[in-house]
Structure 1
Amino acid sequence: MTTELSPDALTGLLERARQDYQALVGRGLSLDLTRGKPAPEQLDLSEDLLSLPDGRHAAADGTDVRNYGGLQGLPELREMFAEVLQVPAAQLLALGNSSLELMHDCLVHAMLSVVPGAETRWVDQERIAFLCPAPGYDRHFSLCERFGIDMIPVPMTPEGPDMDAVERLVAEDPAVKGIWCVPKYSNPTGDSYSDATVARLAAMPTAAPDFRIFWDNAYAAHHLADEPVEIADLLAACAEAGNPDRVFVFGSTSKITMAGAGVAFFGSSPENVRWLLAHNAKRSIGPDKINQLRHVLFLRDADGVRAHMERQRALLKPKFEAVGRILEAELGGTGLATWTSPKGGYFVTLEVPEGCAKEVVRRAAEAGIVLTPAGATHPYGDDPRDAVIRIAPSYPSPAEVEQAIEGLAVCVRLVGYEKRAA
């Protein structure tokens, strides 16, 4: 990342960066790039949901959605998302509005009851650990901290987690019970898992018989490029490899329709589905089937989901293009940064010189540009290189995105040149 500069050239660049930063602070900006939230315009695309089900209260099989029951969710909605999530409809559950809630509950049930294939509850074992591809999703890490699960970082590559490291760790340590995966357009790098990675995850020997892959397919339909990325079917690969119970698949409509009123999905082997349903029956008499019917009537089928996501893409793509365009114009050739150009998902990963990420984030905040805390992309909030910054351009307006990235580039130049001059 280093570009050689003469002392005089460096002095000049640093002085200009300081002047630009003072001008930036003087603008009095108030911009937020912290979370990957849908913008109001994206939510407006699903406004018709609020007028549904328009007096209808019967599902396709005649079920009265106003009443109790239906722990598996509406069959027609499960059928609609079976293709999207690569799970047979019979093995897919449509539940509440949050896939994060489902991940939480699966951890709770694994702690307090025996997972299929296990001999004891996780809570009765001396130590539980999860592999955490990094950079990764901070809320996965928060769940581990909540339950006292040790986190073992594994480097993330353009094809998924470093599988040599994964295979070695799961084979030698029976305390390793799981791995977090965002397989398509990963948070925050935008990388997608290769077919080879999926095959190795499905077939690898594990010391723990109850090892689980938490397959958080949050961006299954969230394409930015003209040619959508497709990933291999992990659930089918696990079954073929003789490990049918290995994977828990999660997904939701949170960034498809309305983030606060979507539908979450769980998919797995028949045995795992029976396991979760048995425990869910003790905490709920059924999901919000009225909301599920709304989604059926609004999206109609898998083609309807794809058409709706094309409208989402039309709103998101210009923002991501602006991020790349401005970073290239402001930082290209400086040797101060590299960044991802994702083909889907909700994030861009910016990498700055080692030891600079926290200071860049701090300077940006002082200038009114709030970013996700540096380190949040790594277990325990600790990026050992202090180099990764997650950019979430979805929520601000296009003009605000441009202002924020221009300001962020100023902060990168200031901190980067200060470090070189030190």
Structure 2
Amino acid sequence: MQYQDMTKKEMQREYHRLCQRYNEYEQQGLQLDLSRGKPAPEQLALSQRMLGELNSRSVLDSEDGTDCRNYGGLDGIPEAKALLAGMIGARPEQVMVGGNSSLTMMFDILSHAMLDGLLGAEPWVQVKDRKFLCPVPGYDRHFAMTEHFGFQLIPIPMHNDGPDMDMIEDLVQRDASIKGIWCVPKYQNPTGIVFSPMVVERFAHLQPAAPDFRIFWDNAYCVHDLYPNAPAVLPDILSACANAGHPDMVYEFCSTSKVSFPGAGISAVAASSANLIDLRKVWKFATIGPDKLNQLRQARFFRNESGIEAHMARHARLLRPKFEQVISIFREELDGSGIASWTEPRGGYFLSFDTMPGCAARTVELCRRAGVKFTPAGSTWPYGRDPQDSNIRIAPSFASAEEIEPAARLFTICVRLATLEKLAATRFASETAFGAERIA
């Protein structure tokens, strides 16, 4: 029976039953964390042999003869450029390789745009009421970064094939204060949606009023297929923009942080030659070169794109059962209730869950009280404020297979409890329909 069709007595009986189940989990003293998309220890172990790639007897020159122990090499060593270019379908000459964090590269580019301007344009710090487009639900760290730089953040609804392109095209054509958009185009965080070829083409053919408008194309999950035999295919945004006559409109990012070690991966930005020249002019003041030994270590361990594909297939064998278990429990516990929906991604690190409006924060709080931590409700929206209070990001990767079962089942119990409380408050103008039994 759907919850909306229940009588008051039926709701009271269901709430009583769920409270009993909730108390059973609460008494177990759970301490589980499904809040961030971190690789599990078993995934990290897959890269352990990388640590032996270099030792005191190793040849530490890159293939072009660069001594990786020394200064220099702002762009990164050739084999690391080829490796990361292969991950995203770019050419090595389109790529600069840095340290472990692509987020750092995004922040540095935003800083450059704010202080110096891009390709001779007005510095963004001088642009009054500057704005940035944010597909929602989306990645909280993206939103926080542009909030830090004083942008007004404009939510853009996500569809099954990508963000609302009609809305994006309309906004950027008529407002020159809109300077960019965040995109996670493959297995989007948190929905797992893959942008369709048509959406990619429409991005490439945008006609922004701002000549320095930029697409921040964070291709973080470019090789993170849960089903490697049927991978999602994403068109190359760099080629699409160049073919559309807008080669400078996009920065594309990737890294091996969730391929190897999150604290010791390598990252890259791919862009037009003009954009790369522009970045080199500024980044030469910030560094005399990245950690080339780590770049060499990664390149020798993975060797090429095929090596990364084989490595990520091993990741998939560890991750896929966790996602499938969460989805199976959601279906078992919530199908037919009419109170929730969720995505069933085929890659990436997250799935997106929507409660009835007004129930997400209460759901997360009930889970926290019982010892299971989820990303705070609202995090997937700019400023941490979900106007519907309905979206929750689920990150199954770090929990063990044994932990997934109680965490997912407790979550569904909390969704039901929060929904019943909301329905009681709406239909009976009181949350006291459940009396003293209501969980504080």
8 Å contact kept, 2:172–2:178:
yes
Specify the code of the residue in structure 2 equivalent to 1:279: V
1:3 to partner: Cα distance: 4.7
Specify the code of the residue in structure 2 equivalent to 1:409: T
1:127 to partner: Cα distance: 2.5
Deviates more, 1:14-23 or 1:354-363: 14-23
Specify the code of the residue in structure 2 equivalent to 1:339: W
8 Å contact kept, 2:84–2:254:
no
Partner of residue 207, structure 2: 205
The alignment's C-alpha RMSD in Å is: 1.1
Partner of residue 160, structure 1: 162
Partner of residue 42, structure 1: 43
8 Å contact kept, 1:132–1:179:
yes
Specify the code of the residue in structure 2 equivalent to 1:410: I
8 Å contact kept, 2:75–2:97:
yes
Number of equivalenced pairs: 421
Deviates more, 1:375-384 or 1:400-409: 400-409
Cα distance in structure 2, aligned partners of 1:187 and 1:107: 21
Cα distance in structure 1, aligned partners of 2:340 and 2:142: 27
Cα distance in structure 2, aligned partners of 1:175 and 1:152: 12
Uncovered stretches (5+) of structure 1, i.e. residues with no partner: none
Cα distance in structure 1, aligned partners of 2:54 and 2:97: 17
Q: How does 1:240-279 map to 2 (within 5 A)?
A: 240-279=243-282
1:26 to partner: Cα distance: 1.4
Cα distance in structure 2, aligned partners of 1:99 and 1:64: 24
Partner of residue 284, structure 1: 287
Q: Does 1:83 align with 2:95?
A: no
1:128 to partner: Cα distance: 1.5
Q: Does 1:180 align with 2:172?
A: no
Cα distance in structure 2, aligned partners of 1:48 and 1:280: 32
Cα distance in structure 1, aligned partners of 2:213 and 2:121: 12
Cα distance in structure 2, aligned partners of 1:233 and 1:91: 12
Q: Tell me the alpha carbon deviations over residues 101-127 of structure 1, each in whole angstroms, 9 at most, x when there is no partner.
A: 0000000000111202x5311112223
Deviates more, 1:5-14 or 1:400-409: 5-14
Cα distance in structure 2, aligned partners of 1:384 and 1:214: 25
Cα distance in structure 1, aligned partners of 2:166 and 2:424: 39
Specify the code of the residue in structure 2 equivalent to 1:236: S
Partner of residue 124, structure 1: 126
Q: Does 1:95 align with 2:101?
A: no
Deviates more, 1:1-10 or 1:200-209: 1-10
8 Å contact kept, 1:86–1:235:
no
1:79 to partner: Cα distance: 1.2
Deviates more, 1:298-307 or 1:118-127: 118-127
Superposition TM-score, scaled by structure 2 size: 0.94
Cα distance in structure 2, aligned partners of 1:350 and 1:127: 33
Cα distance in structure 2, aligned partners of 1:331 and 1:125: 48
Matched position secondary structure for 2:5: coil
Cα distance in structure 1, aligned partners of 2:117 and 2:418: 51
Q: Does 1:378 align with 2:381?
A: yes
Cα distance in structure 2, aligned partners of 1:402 and 1:122: 48
Cα distance in structure 2, aligned partners of 1:326 and 1:126: 49
Deviates more, 1:227-236 or 1:6-15: 6-15
Cα distance in structure 1, aligned partners of 2:127 and 2:11: 56
Partner of residue 134, structure 1: 136
Identity of matched residues, %: 48
1:421 to partner: Cα distance: 2.6
1:222 to partner: Cα distance: 0.2
Specify the code of the residue in structure 1 equivalent to 2:35: T
8 Å contact kept, 1:352–1:388:
yes
Specify the code of the residue in structure 1 equivalent to 2:92: A
Cα distance in structure 2, aligned partners of 1:176 and 1:87: 27
8 Å contact kept, 1:21–1:414:
no
1:7 to partner: Cα distance: 3.5
Cα distance in structure 1, aligned partners of 2:320 and 2:15: 33
Partner of residue 16, structure 1: 17
1:371 to partner: Cα distance: 0.6
Specify the code of the residue in structure 2 equivalent to 1:396: A
8 Å contact kept, 2:115–2:124:
yes
Q: How does 1:100-111 map to 2 (within 5 A)?
A: 100-111=103-114
Over 3 Å counting, the alpha-carbon distance change for 1:155 and 1:271 in structure 2 is same
Cα distance in structure 2, aligned partners of 1:2 and 1:114: 54
Uncovered stretches (5+) of structure 2, i.e. residues with no partner: 426-440
1:358 to partner: Cα distance: 0.3
8 Å contact kept, 2:84–2:255:
no
1:331 to partner: Cα distance: 1.2
Q: Tell me the alpha carbon deviations over residues 311-360 of structure 1, each in whole angstroms, 9 at most, x when there is no partner.
A: 00011001001100111111111112111100100001111110000000
8 Å contact kept, 2:379–2:385:
yes
Superposition misfits of 4+ residues, deviation over 4 angstroms: none
Superposition TM-score, scaled by structure 1 size: 0.98
Specify the code of the residue in structure 1 equivalent to 2:271: S
Specify the code of the residue in structure 1 equivalent to 2:321: P
Cα distance in structure 1, aligned partners of 2:104 and 2:117: 20
Specify the code of the residue in structure 2 equivalent to 1:22: N
Specify the code of the residue in structure 1 equivalent to 2:135: P
1:149 to partner: Cα distance: 1.2
Specify the code of the residue in structure 2 equivalent to 1:383: D
Deviates more, 1:319-328 or 1:5-14: 5-14
Partner of residue 416, structure 1: 419
